Structure 1
Amino acid sequence: MSPSTGSGRRLREHLVDIRPLREIPAFRAFWIGTTISSFGSQLSAFALLYYVWELSHSAALVGLTGVVRAVPLAVCGLLGGTLADRMNRRTLLLAMRLAQMASAATLAVLVIVGVGNVPLVYVFMGVGAGLASISVPSSQTFAPRLLDGERLSAGLALMRLSSQFAMLAGPFVAGILVDSLGVGICLAVDAVTFIAALWGIVSLPKAVGEPQRDAAAGKSERGILGAVRHLVRTPVLLGAFVADLNATLLAIPTALFPVINAERFGGSPVTLGFMLPAIGLGGILAGVFSGRITRQRRQGVVMVACCAIWGAGIALFGLSGWLPLALLGLVIAGAADTGTVVSRGTIVQRSTPDALRGRMNSLDFLVGAGGPSLGDLRAGMVASATSGAVAAVSGGLACVVGAGVIAAAIPSLRSWRGDAAERKTAVSPSTVDG
């Protein structure tokens, strides 16, 4: 083997593993549809925030959009988990996407004809958030049914890369469209992109939509309490949830961006505009070079390490008074966040029987959505009492320490291996391709 051949092979091992897209047609179609639809959703989210501001010029009303989304996300997310374990998940997801498409199209028409107002936008925001959160637990069950072994981790990395791309490209394109064609066009494009999502869902084999009944679960595992019991009784799952909360409660920097920008960098909106995309850039880079991460069998070690790196990146962001170094800290944190999401997803999906997977996904969704909100509250309170820099540095360092404590206290998390000894939840490739 020539040196160039060896170098090429080593490079491929570090790049994102695209075997799930190449080998599993159903996953490929679902991924493409989800990617296009996610991009449309980002267009809509940006356009609606701008529209509320344009109608009201009230920061309070713009901020209230978070609450408008949060309540249905929490309530409907739990409902979605229960429904996903009781009915065909493919059918449920199709129904939710059709409803989302109808909602987006209706709002687009109302805005284009000029009858939109803030209360009306709130209603459609709430409806959209509720429908989306009902669909999340079902949509997350397909990858573990379609993929096995390393391909599951690789598939989750590809899904993460897709969402990071949408988060970066969506607002940028939306800004151009809103400026040139208005808010309504973004909402209309969002409605159209649901066609791609529907195509991806229809491409899934009907068999992967049917929950696999676990006779051992019994009546005691019915309802959301069944998922809670499984979570409490499975230390590796509990450790994964606690590790995620450690990172989000202690070291979420979003609320600190305007504070640190004013303290350290003159308060320029241009400078502020670099901060969140820096995290997204780190996430995309980690996704592109995720091959080594997804091929690791000890995903618990990967998760704990990435949590610690996330905290270190946030601490670096808070320590630096030089903008490039501060942004580098956010890029590092964003890369670690992708590693955490992929490893946690692998652990959750492979440690949960399919009969409980919808409800467990709903709990995972609540942790992922609620942790950052509480983390922003903590960061804001600490920053009010001290400074934005102190809040970032103290939170980041506490996250690093917390990751070490979790690794020491929950040995099953650091020793967890995603190999053949784990519960098998994927269907065979022959079934998928059919």
Structure 2
Amino acid sequence: MGLSAFVRRHMVDVRPLAVLPYRRLWAGQGVSFVGFQLTSTAVAAQIYKTTDSSFWVGMLGPANLVPLVVFGLWGGAVADAVDRRRLLIGGALVAWAATLALLLQTLLGAASVGLLLATVAVHATGFAITSPTRGAIIPRLLPAELVPAANTLNFLVSSMGAVIGPLVAGVVLARGGFAAVYLTDAVLFGASLYAAVRLPRLAPLGEVTRPGLRSVVDGLRYIAGNRVVLMSFVVDVIAMAFALPRALFPEIADERFGGSLIAFGWLTASIAIGSVAGGLLSGWVGRVRRQGLALTFTIAVWGVSVAAAGLAPALWLMVALLAVGGAADMVSAVWRQTILQTHAPDEMRGRMQGVFTVVVAGGPRLGDLRAGAAATWFGATGAWVGGGIACAVAVLAAGLAVPAFREYRAAPRGPEKCDV
């Protein structure tokens, strides 16, 4: 096999980037996500500087989660009833206004912990609207066979932002302070807003349901009645709630590596490093048709890798095994997202993406709670290893027990209508 053939077969599939509206959306997301990570890092540091309390830093969790749950579900329902381009622009403007508010507070010396948390909640509201809307837009821009590749590119650029953003934030904070970070984010966010403005009109297809509580309930009822879609959420919750070990990183770094901040940093970055590597080597992902079965076994690999990392005697081996898990998590996320985008009808996609946003936001927090609680009973190593094993067993039992999910095959489908 020649080098060019190897690259086409195994490296990340970049064919979606040939479609101009998607390319703009992807580039805007990548640039603005670096800014998002800058602000996330700076807000945590600013709250700690203001309060000298980790408790208040921890309150960023509910400040982000509550709007994500409420407006993620509502935003998904609205995305099924209006022009998705206009909704994406509106949500982006809300998030951008919150960033500018953080900048203004800092410049005026008016920042307080309550005001900072309230502004973060507004920013999370904008994100909760744009995230499901963006996910629902992709199948309208691309043929179905390119949707897995597009999702891989999206997760890849987000993972790269998760690595690059905090590193850049440290440099900008050291040289320019909090205001410089927020200003940088506001400038970078312009790329996302520009991409949204340049999208074609994306009016709803099929039956339009008035957004509100009833449409949200209809979406949840659709999930409950569709085993393939339901199981895509179930296996996601299993993956994060059982196996995510990040809440244990500080204790493990302290117990095994003498409290080394370098060790803690490597552990923290390891899963994202694996996600980036998995994305770069993802050329094969779009060729998999039995996505339900593949998703089940990939999440089992995630669980086994996490469990093995918890038993590893050396830091480099722990990082390597967590990176393997991160790569598996990246691939599983692509298939979960693809199932929602291609299996559900267009008039349900916004609501499916809203629930996806809630699960993605809530699952890791359940994992943190599970890991911390289990560590009080079984110790950090027991909680870490036991969670990984429980994940692998539970996902195999659940995924293989549902024939519709086990036998699900992705069917190629042509591009859908958008108004250019």
TM-score (normalizing by structure 2) = 0.96
The alpha carbon displacement at 1:140 in A equals 0.9
For 2:323 and 2:185, the matched residues in 1 are separated by 29
Of 327, 337, 345, which residue of structure 2 is paired with 1:335? 327
> Matches of residues 201-212 of structure 1 in structure 2 within 5 Å?
201-206=196-201, 209-212=202-205
Of 135, 146, 149, which residue of structure 2 is paired with 1:151? 146
Q: Is the 8 A contact 2:241 2:363 kept in 1?
A: yes
For 1:294 and 1:285, the matched residues in 2 are separated by 16
Of 381, 386, 389, which residue of structure 1 is paired with 2:381? 389
Cα deviation code 1:106-131 (max 9, x no counterpart): 22122123222211111111111112
For 1:49 and 1:218, the matched residues in 2 are separated by 38
Letter in 2 for 1:228: L
Identity %: 35
The DSSP-based 3-state class of the residue aligned with 1:182 is: helix
> Matches of residues 253-264 of structure 1 in structure 2 within 5 Å?
253-264=245-256
Q: Is the 8 A contact 1:39 1:167 kept in 2?
A: yes
> Matches of residues 152-301 of structure 1 in structure 2 within 5 Å?
152-206=147-201, 209-214=202-207, 223-301=215-293
Q: Is the 8 A contact 1:43 1:173 kept in 2?
A: yes
For 1:370 and 1:292, the matched residues in 2 are separated by 29
The DSSP-based 3-state class of the residue aligned with 2:258 is: coil
The alpha carbon displacement at 1:222 in A equals 5.1
Cα deviation code 1:284-303 (max 9, x no counterpart): 00000111112212222221
Q: Is the 8 A contact 2:98 2:120 kept in 1?
A: no
Q: Does 150-159 or 290-299 show the bigger shift?
A: 290-299
Q: Does 1:122 align with 2:111?
A: no
Gaps of 5+ in 2: none
For 2:178 and 2:197, the matched residues in 1 are separated by 30
Q: State the partner residue of 2:338.
A: 346
For 2:350 and 2:143, the matched residues in 1 are separated by 18
The DSSP-based 3-state class of the residue aligned with 1:76 is: helix
| RMSD, matched Cα | 1.9
Q: Is the 8 A contact 1:214 1:353 kept in 2?
A: no
Q: Is the 8 A contact 2:96 2:123 kept in 1?
A: no
For 2:414 and 2:248, the matched residues in 1 are separated by 41
The DSSP-based 3-state class of the residue aligned with 1:291 is: coil
Q: Is the 8 A contact 1:248 1:375 kept in 2?
A: yes
Q: State the partner residue of 2:395.
A: 403
TM-score (normalizing by structure 1) = 0.93
Structure 1 89/218 Cα, relative in aligned 2: closer, same or farther at 3 Å?
closer
The alpha carbon displacement at 1:410 in A equals 1.2
Letter in 2 for 1:416: Y
Structure 1 426/152 Cα, relative in aligned 2: closer, same or farther at 3 Å?
same
For 1:147 and 1:263, the matched residues in 2 are separated by 49
Cα deviation code 1:145-169 (max 9, x no counterpart): 1122321000000000010011000
Cα deviation code 1:11-69 (max 9, x no counterpart): 321000000002x1110011111111111111110011111111111111111111111
Cα deviation code 1:184-208 (max 9, x no counterpart): 11111111122111111122111xx
For 1:222 and 1:27, the matched residues in 2 are separated by 32
Q: Is the 8 A contact 2:26 2:154 kept in 1?
A: yes
Letter in 2 for 1:21: L
Q: Is the 8 A contact 2:305 2:325 kept in 1?
A: yes
Q: Does 1:10 align with 2:6?
A: yes
Structure 1 238/399 Cα, relative in aligned 2: closer, same or farther at 3 Å?
same
Gaps of 5+ in 1: none
Q: Does 1:320 align with 2:309?
A: no
Q: State the partner residue of 1:356.
A: 348
Q: Is the 8 A contact 2:94 2:122 kept in 1?
A: no
The DSSP-based 3-state class of the residue aligned with 2:284 is: helix
